[in-house]
Amino acid sequence: MTHRIERTIQDGIERIVYTPAKRQYETPLLMQHGMWHAAWCWQPWQELFAQWGWESHAFSLPGHGGSPVGRSLRWCTLGYYDGILSAEVKRMKRPPVLLGHSMGGALVQRHLKKNCDIPAAVLAASWPSRSTLLPLARLFLRHPWEVALALATLSAAPAISTTALVQDLFLSDGALIAPDELRARLSPESLLIVFQHLPPFWRPPLRTRTRLLWLGGTHDIVNAEQIHRESAADYGADYIAVEGANHDLMWERSSSQTALSIHQWLVGKGVV
């Protein structure tokens, strides 16, 4: 067996840790999921990184996956989630590489604004560097009824109310997970957080010294690939366009190659 898997729920947080049988790198990976998702979403990459000798930790925010609800999801904020991410970083025995997907990328950006305690960060299909306004408008034009219902209820749940919506927003044909299976795993989510990642509530930490890699799918429905590219340029981050991929890069057909690109980037940056 190439790795050991440990799943725990402690202090209200579900954690899934993959420990390689033969550790090649001392720096751990800490994975922050995005809206509706949870620690489980990192499974394909955790398996691969364990094979390459990396220890990885994924955790679920309260009310997501196996983590019990901490406060009403309707009133969860990015500040609340950011505090949990910061606590997870502090739990690590040494500063980890942060991987953030979608909203998780926004939380990584917030962490970078306050801390210089990590060796590198990877933003996978992350929220943009400056504002969620364009992605929200893009989704409104594509799914006006669902976005209007979300605005009326202050809940992001309408966006994942059908299998067809989930497939459109997250997966391309031939993904590693079926749309109905993905929808069954998703959790309700706050809509308030979307409006906290835009001016005047948010300004990006453009002068961070942390080494950054940004990845964007060329067929990303949630965030257009051009927005990913511009966000990477904002930070001076290295950028990889994942050809043909939709939003959930970990579950796309190209998942293994995308993970390999991250692994090679980390090694090339001297992260050990």
- φ, ψ for residue 134 (rounded to 5)? -65, -45
- Strand 56-60, strand 97-101: pairing: unpaired
When divided into structural domains, the chain yields a total of 1
Is this structure's pTM higher than 0.75? yes
Contact between 179 and 247 (Cβ < 8 Å): no
Of the pLDDT bands very low, low, confident and very high (cuts 50, 70, 90), residue 174 is very high
Cβ neighbors of 152 (< 8 A, separation 6 or more) are none
Q: Please report, for the domain that includes residue 201, its CATH number.
A: 3.40.50.1820
Residue 92 domain boundaries: 3-268
pLDDT above 90 as % of the chain? 89
Amino acid at 67: S
- Tens of pLDDT, residue by residue over 221-269, are 999 999 999 999 999 999 999 999 999 999 999 999 999 999 999 999 9
